[in-house]
Amino acid sequence: MTEIGIHDIQLATAHHVLDLGDLAEHAGIDPNKYRIGLGQDEMSVAAPDEDIVTMAAEAAAPILERNGTGGIRTLLFATETGVDQSKSAGVFVHRLLGLSPTVRVVELKQACYSATAALQMAAGMIARNPDERVLVIASDIARYELDSSGEPTQGAGAVAFLVSTDPALVAIEPVSGVSTTDVDDFWRPNGSTTAVVDGALSVTAYLDALHQAWSDFAARGGAPIGEIERFLYHQPFTKMARKGHRHLAKVTGAPLDESTLESSFAYNRRIGNTYTASIYGALAALLDLDEGRGAARGLEGARLGFFSYGSGAVSELFTGIVQPGYRATLDPARAAAAMDARTRIDVATYRSLHAAIGTDDGDVETPRVTTGPFRFAGLRGRARQYERTA
């Protein structure tokens, strides 16, 4: 059987960074609540001329440079912080990347889950037309109200990945476990720039969905838990993955080792919640940094378990096999450079940026702040304008 899976992956994030120690000091909270209690150190904050489109284009451009555009007929854009009620954010990216008019584009929404739906749809499309490749981009800006308990779990980032036959990184296995339950744990009403969340309910809804998705996965003949070497979880904050892992150990009775999660936290601890991109940011970190069987082989041949959760709630548990020689495709310096390039801001600047979101009306030219290769230039006749600057 032809293998289908993730051939290349790239992370991008925003221009600014806020240290959560500074946020804790402002709020009069022990910084260890954020660093240890939530497992978060920093969060990326978008500049006025950045949004999910600019981050998405920045993540995807290097993938096209490395792999060309041949065979790409579809761009799937996953987000829950869309910039328009009608037009796919991916259409802006399509132009910014200079893709052919014969590439179709669509946006997928179901909270943090939809990049996984995109991956599965891509796999289905490629199974029908094995010469095609699908570009998937997950991009989100997580925003809660100022001074709310969700505030330290904000973030901004995008992960792009190319799905193809004979993937260089991870071959996705066909068995999936799925769980859908109508629950009001987290949502963003029309017109609201921040999410509404019942924090405690969202944590239990996540854990219940994990149990349900695992049960479905096991009932459908998925790999035995003892044959899954590393687990990747949706990471709204990295401690949530620890909670998930403990819960999975409890419901299955398997002796799961929590220390094996550590390398998957490296990027999300510094970027914060990136909603749809979060689990794929965890994958990028694991592939870049986990030594597995030693520096030469890394995780070659290892089976990875993915738990993708989107509030509301839809989730999916599936597995993939790390491919021989995968390290040749990767360069951990790429993600490090994106994070290290951010400009640190103080709490007052972060708060004024937060307060300004959603206040634009009429024609607007945004100030030039980002040094990234794409920028949101403003609104003309209420239509969003983007430009490539490099």
Residue 80 annotated among the catalytic residues of the structure: yes
- CB 341, CB 360: distance < 8 Å: no
Considering only 36, 219, 333, 356, the residue that binds ligand CAA (CB under 6 A) is 36
CB of 142 to ligand CAA, least distance (A): 7
The answer to whether 276 touches 89, Cβ cutoff 8 Å, is no
Sign for the pseudo-dihedral over CA of 131, 75, 305, 230: positive
Identify whether 227 is a catalytic site residue: no
Judge residue 329's burial from the number of C-beta atoms within 10 Å of its C-beta, 0-12 exposed, 13-18 middle, 19 or more buried.
Answer: middle
Q: At what angle do helices 278-289 and 114-128 cross, to 10 degrees?
A: 70
The gap between the terminal CA atoms of the chain, to the nearest Å, is 42
Active-site residue, selected from the candidate residues 42, 50, 80, 229 = 80
Q: Is 30 annotated as a binding residue?
A: yes
Residue 307 engages ligand CAA in binding (rule: CB under 6 A)? no
Select from 4, 56, 108, 197 the one that contacts ligand CAA (CB under 6 A): 197
Q: Do the beta carbons of residue 330 and residue 288 sit within 8 Å?
A: yes
Q: Furthest-apart CA pair in the chain: how many Å?
A: 59
Residue of the chain from 153, 179, 263, 323 that contacts ligand CAA (CB under 6 A): 153
234 is catalytic: yes
Q: Which of 77, 161, 267, 309 binds ligand CAA (CB under 6 A)?
A: 309
Min CB(366)–ligand CAA separation in Å: 27
Q: Is 206 in the site for ligand CAA (CB under 6 A)?
A: yes
| Of residues 177 and 236, the one with the C-beta less far from ligand CAA | 236
Residue 234 contacts ligand CAA per CB under 6 A: yes
* Number of Cβ within a 10 Å radius of residue 85: 7
Residues within the interface to ligand CAA (CB under 6 A) = 30, 32-33, 36-38, 112, 149-150, 153, 186, 197, 199, 202-203, 206, 234, 236-237, 240, 273, 275, 309, 311
Active site members: 80, 112, 234
